[in-house]
Amino acid sequence: MREGKALRRKAGGYAHAKQFKRLKKTVKRQRTILGIVLREVGRKIKQMPQVPAEALTALHDLMQRAERIRTQQPKDKNKLYAMHAPEVECIGKGKARKPYEFGVKVSVAVTHRQGLMVGARSFTGNPYDGHTLAEQLEQVTILTEDTGRSPKQVVVDLGFRGVDAHNPGVEIIHRGKFKSLTSAHRRWLKRRQAVEPAIGHLKHDNGMDRCWLKGSMGDALHAVLCAAGYNIRWLLRAIVRLGLKGLFAPLLARLWIWAAALAMATQARRTRCGSLGWMLR
């Protein structure tokens, strides 16, 4: 245990200092120790007379993941990045500050004018951006069916080129079609960048940057809940900005009356209990 902690600290320091020969030697020692532990655990399991089936299944699952981490190489496909979350993928961002992120890709749909989130869907397996548009539009259609409206135009970036045939019901607008766009479409295209700060607020203000729920279902629920929190913040800001506090004044007054009545009833009940106790004494 002590050597493992020291090796982990050394590996982080060598990677930060770009001392790759020392890093390679440290990682090799970590693989050796992990192999020793796995073989020892396997021998101990065979010596145990009775092991519960559920515990044995969970232990074998963990051992398979550990063996997969021990044997995988930097150039391998479908690598395992987290013991507790096998669905995590390495997503290339292409940015100098953070070239890679580890997690699950999430697609977000925002209305053109108000910036209200009408869709947030997670995709396992790190698919191509253009291949996620049809499923995202399906979610948006389901969530907005009560309003009687459905998306007709979609303003996207260049990652969604070449998917017009797969989405015949909507008009896809991106910068690659700039010469054939009308003046209205070009104005809409200028608004596409508005989704970037929305994604930033979704990550840092509403908890999208880290998911605490387990599995692919947890990722999907987390994305929807973060978008719901973003919309609640959006609604509260709209109430303050548009001066709609007066609409909620009667509701607040009723709540205050109900709270006062409940407090009086509770106080009366306490008084009756106290007088009854005095009579019994």
pLDDT value at 261 more than 80: no
Q: What is the pLDDT of residues 34-85, one digit of tens each?
A: 999 999 999 988 888 887 888 888 889 999 999 999 999 988 888 999 888 8
- CA 146 to each of CA 149, 150, 226: distance values in angstroms, whole numbers, following the listed order: 8, 10, 21
- List the chain domain ranges: 2-71, 91-238, 250-281
Q: Which residues of 97-122 are buried (b: 16+ CB within 10 A; e: fewer)?
A: eeeeeebbbbbbbbeeeebbbbbbbb
For residue 141, count other CB atoms closer than 10 A to its CB: 16
> Tell me: the pLDDT tens digits for 176-226?
888 888 888 888 888 888 888 998 999 898 888 888 888 889 999 999 999
